[in-house]
Amino acid sequence: MRGSNCKMNIAAVLNGLLVSVLAAVLWKYAKLQEHTYSVEEELLLTQQSQELSQVRIDYHAALQSLQEEGTRMVCTGKMHTDRICRFDYLCYSTEAEEFVFFHSNSSVMLPNLGSRRFQPALLDLSSVEDHNTQYFNFLELPAAALKFMPKPVFVPDVTLILNRFNPDNLMHIFHDDLLPIYYTMLLYPDLDQDARLVFMEGWNEGLHFDLYRLMSNKQPLLKEQLKNFGKLLCFTKSYVGLSKMTTWYQYGFVQPQGAKANILVSGLEIRQFTRFLMEKLNVSMEESSSGEEYIVVFSRTVNRLILNEAEIILALAQEFQMKTVTVSLDDHSFADIVQIISRASMLVSMHGAQLITSVFLPRGAVVVEIFPYAVNPDHYTPYKTLASLPGIDLQYVAWQNTNEENSVAFPDRPWDQGGIAHLEKAEQERIMKSKEVPQHLCCRNPEWLFRIYQDTKVDIPSLIEAIRQTVKTKLNLKKAKPAIVVHPGKVRDPKCQASIQGTSEARLTVSWQIPWNLKYLKVREVKYEVWIQEQGENTYMPYILPHQNYTFSENIKPFTTYLVWIRCFFNKTLLGPFADVLVCRT
Q: How far apart are the first and last CA of the chain?
A: 126
Measured CA to CA, the distance from residue 369 to residue 382 in angstroms comes to 11
Measured CA to CA, the distance from residue 131 to residue 276 in angstroms comes to 29
Whether residue 45 has pLDDT greater than 60: no
Nearest Cα to 367, choosing from 353, 351, 346, 350? Answer: 346
Q: What is the pLDDT of residue 2?
A: 47
What is the DSSP secondary-structure string of 48-98?
HHHHHHHSPPPHHHHHHHHHHT--EEEEESSSGGG-EEEEEEEEEETTTTE
How deeply is 173 buried, as exposed, middle or buried, from its count of CB atoms within 10 A (0-12, 13-18, 19+)? buried
Q: What is the pLDDT of residue 43?
A: 46
Strand partners, 349: 298, 369
Mean pLDDT over each residue of the chain, to the nearest integer = 90
Whether residue 476 has pLDDT greater than 60: no
Measured CA to CA, the distance from residue 373 to residue 361 in angstroms comes to 27
pLDDT category of residue 32 using cuts at 50, 70 and 90: very low
Q: Calculate the CA dihedral of residues 529, 532, 533, 539 and round it to 10 degrees.
A: -50
Q: What is the pLDDT of residue 121?
A: 97
- Percentage of the chain lying above the pLDDT 90 cut: 79
Whether residue 500 has pLDDT greater than 70: yes
Whether residue 8 has pLDDT greater than 50: no
Q: How many CB atoms lie within 10 A of CB 256?
A: 14
Distances (CA, A) of 159 to 69, 120, 515: 20, 24, 44
Whether residue 473 has pLDDT greater than 80: no
The SS3 assignment for 217 reads coil
pLDDT digits (tens, 9 = 90+) for 323-375: 999 999 999 999 999 999 999 999 999 999 999 999 999 999 999 999 999 99
Average pLDDT over residues 82-103: 97
Whether residue 311 has pLDDT greater than 50: yes
Could you tell me how many residues make up the chain?
A: 586
Measured CA to CA, the distance from residue 62 to residue 146 in angstroms comes to 13
Q: What is the pLDDT of residue 285?
A: 83
Task: Compare 423 and 43 and report the one with higher pLDDT.
Answer: 423
Q: What is the pLDDT of residue 12?
A: 52
Q: What is the pLDDT of residue 61?
A: 73
Nearest Cα to 127, choosing from 259, 241, 34, 297? Answer: 241
Average pLDDT over residues 507-512: 95
How deeply is 186 buried, as exposed, middle or buried, from its count of CB atoms within 10 A (0-12, 13-18, 19+)? middle
Q: What is the pLDDT of residue 317?
A: 97
pLDDT digits (tens, 9 = 90+) for 433-444: 999 999 999 999
Q: Among 18-32, 258-272, 377-391, which stretch is predicted with the lowest mean pLDDT?
A: 18-32
What phi, psi does 93 have (nearest 5°)?
-90, 115
- Percentage of the chain lying above the pLDDT 70 cut: 88
Q: What is the pLDDT of residue 44?
A: 53
Average pLDDT over residues 202-228: 97
pLDDT digits (tens, 9 = 90+) for 292-301: 899 999 999 9
pTM for the whole thing?
0.84
